[in-house]
Chain A
Amino acid sequence: MDDLKKIQEKIKKIELTPEEKKEMRDNIIAVLKSRPNPRENEGGENTFPVKSPYVFKFKKALAFAAIILVIAGGMSVSLAAENALPGDLLYSVKIKVNEGLSGLMARSDEAQVRWLVKTAERRIEEAEKMAASGKLDVNSANNIEDNLESKTKRLKDKLNSLDDKESLGIGADVVSKLENSLSAHEEVIKKLSLDKGEAKKDLDSILSDVKSVAESVRESRKNFDRNAFKNKDNKFMAAQVRLKLAQDSIKDAEKALQDSGKADDETKKKAAESISRAKEVILEAEAKLRDSADSDTLEKLHRAVGLSNEARVMLDANVNLNITGLNFSSNATNTENATSSNDENKGEGNQDSDNNGGDNEGEGN
């Protein structure tokens, strides 16, 4: 790498010629003088971090081999691989065979979105499991982040490519679920970061990615909700889809509570409270739906999904990761607070681990 320094010196010689510099300066001054009022989008847009395009090419030969592996008795290998973590022998089977096959079979836009969401969540869960067991290191964190980056980029591209009709159902359901799931995982990772000092740097880096994705997904979900109100039929359809999602989320959470024999009493109590509030919020939303669906209805249902999702994640973290003391900001006691959006609640008093007390100027975004 000695040539690196030499090249570094040479690179510094690349610059504008005096003529180019003068021409540019003259252009800038001319533009400024011709535009007395500032333009609206100043300072550049805050864009989603752009990652290298990841083209998922599942070669036919590999796909065929994977099918043979499963059919010819490799099922046990495939199943065993489901619990593999980065660094384990079967991890590549988990990613390339198990997830790869599911991806191949996802034909419709909705199926592809669900697959991308599921695989992104699996990366986050892997990071949590590894951190909880003290196995998270710089290499595994790097692998997880790279994979998470590529999945979320593809997810965003896929969501942007959907037309209004396709996006309505997906936005009402999958995106709402993902946003809530990411918020819940943020809390788990923050807690792990506090508890597991040796992995703090890597966890903070992963947390930064998860927050960035959550913010982007939140933006998508809000766009979907706004689009839903373009016409009467759309908003009712969106509300019905989300109502079903909220009801299913409560069932999942109740099942998790039923199966959480090993969870401690405090966690079970908090989870039961969350589920109970989710049910109250649904009742309020249903009452509104009888008259009309409005943006508040969609927001309430989104909130209900969030509450039941938090209960499920809390129980899972307690049972499988031995995490206690998770305190979602949604643990308010009255249902009026439950109508606020996730990000408003989470903003209160929470220190963002990304910021080290430095400037937080809004410029340039």
Chain B
Amino acid sequence: MKEKDFLAAYEMYSDALYRHCYFRLFDNEKSKDIVQETFVRTWNYTLAGKEISNIRAFLYRVLNNLIVDEIRKKKSYSLEDLAENGFQPTDNKAGKQRLEVVSEVRHLMKFINKLGEEKRQLLMMRYMDGLGPKEISRILGKGENIISVRLNRAIKELRQIYDNGHNG
């Protein structure tokens, strides 16, 4: 892969990767570290002479592995931790925008957090990152049909949790 293509991929996907990581870990600094590491590892992979046919899927796979490693080190990432570790009160516009979104999303994330990690991950890849079942299947190394089945289950379960939470 040529350097200019790699940097083009960085411009195209870094925001989406950061966003995905942020809503898995709720840690701004850690998310930036992981995204950076994702690109470094990807470039080094190409330096070894290996071909990457789908850069987006590859980046997500590397990112996902790093997130999983991080989650294993730290037992839980919660919205409660966000205020202390992941979010610095700031006067700048970006900081205020994140605060606003997180506050609004917090309500929904409480329902999503009741799902298992795998289901949460699938929903985020599908609805936040806009990845299709085929791409998700490549990233996670599972069959496309299985991804579709599990996505449907995750949506159904989230719907139940959401309805119970609103009506209960």
Contact = CB atoms under 8 A, between A and B. Distances in A.
A47 B68 contact: yes
State the main secondary structure of chain A at its contact with B. loop
A8 B141 CA distance: 26
B153 A13 contact: no
B53 A149 contact: no
Contacts of A4: 108
Contacts of A223: none
A64 B131 CA distance: 49
Contact of B45 (A20, A43, A353): A43
Contacts of A201: 145-146, 149
B40 A358 contact: no
A44 B61 contact: yes
Nearest to B134: A358
Interface stretch (A24-32, A311-319, A330-338): A24-32
A15 B72 contact: no
Interface stretch (A49-57, A83-91, A295-303): A49-57
Contacts of B138: 358-359, 361
Interface string A315-345: 0000000000000000000000000000000
Contacts of A204: 143, 145-146, 149
Contacts of B54: 359
A362 to B, nearest CB: 9
Contact of B76 (A1, A11, A42, A53): A53
B83 interface: no
B62 interface: yes
Given A42-B45, A208-B142, A364-B58, A7 B159 contact: no
Interface string A126-162: 0000000000001000100010010000000000000
Nearest to A150: B116
Nearest to B28: A20
Given A1-B162, A25-B7, A51-B117, A16 B141 contact: no
A43 B43 contact: no
B25 interface: no
B62 A364 contact: yes
A47 B69 contact: yes
A108 interface: no
A357 to B, nearest CB: 10
Interface in B128-143: 128, 134, 137-139, 141-143
B2 to A, nearest CB: 13
Interface in B110-156: 116-118, 127-128, 134, 137-139, 141-146, 149-150, 152-153, 156
Contact of B150 (A45, A205, A354): A205
B81 interface: no
A64 B100 CA distance: 48
Contacts of A28: 10, 36, 39-40, 43
Contacts of B39: 24, 28
Contacts of B23: 11, 14
B10 A52 contact: no
A354 B18 contact: no
B146 A205 contact: yes
B98 to A, nearest CB: 6
In the A-B complex, the 3 residue pairs with the smallest Cβ-Cβ separation, listed nearest first, are A44-B65, A364-B61, A15-B15
Interface of A: 1, 3-4, 7-8, 10-17, 20-21, 24-25, 27-28, 31-32, 35-39, 42-47, 49-53, 138, 142, 146, 149, 201-202, 204-205, 208, 353-356, 358-359, 361, 363-365
Given A14-B98, A365-B61, 16 more contacts: A3-B108, A4-B108, A10-B100, A11-B23, A12-B128, A17-B92, A24-B32, A38-B48, A39-B41, A44-B62, A44-B65, A47-B65, A50-B68, A50-B117, A201-B145, A204-B146
7 contacts: A1-B159, A16-B14, A28-B43, A42-B44, A52-B116, A364-B62, A365-B61
